[in-house]
Amino acid sequence: MRIEHWDESRDGPLSEAALRSRLESLGFRVSRYVYPPGTRFPPHTHTVDKIDAVLSGRFEMEMEGRRVVLEAGDMLEVPAGVVHAARVVGEEPVVSLDAVRSK
């Protein structure tokens, strides 16, 4: 499981524009989603490489037998074909940038 944390000393202040720009510079198309408390995604896969990046809230991800809670500025690589699940933790919505590898 590969997680990257936003580094203000390297990347500057965390903002939606800055996070989007970083993901796009890595060759990803980016969509913004807001998931309300209680949202769950059962185990599933994707046919493309993705990065789930969190702007705010807490997003628990399960992949390869491990669980991690992503918070603001955290980015998790989700390779194509890897089974994973997710859920919003707590009472705050999760604002997420969903990045899909551009072809």
Residues 6+ away with beta carbon under 8 Å from 72: 6, 14, 54, 55, 56, 57
Q: What is the largest CA-CA distance in the chain?
A: 36
Q: What pTM did the predictor assign?
A: 0.92
What is the tens place of the pLDDT at every residue in 3-62? 999 999 999 999 999 999 999 999 999 999 999 999 999 999 999 999 999 999 999 999
Question: Which pLDDT belongs to residue 68?
Answer: 96
First-residue to last-residue Cα distance in the chain: 23
- Going along the chain from its start, the domains and CATH numbers come out as 3-101 (2.60.120.10)
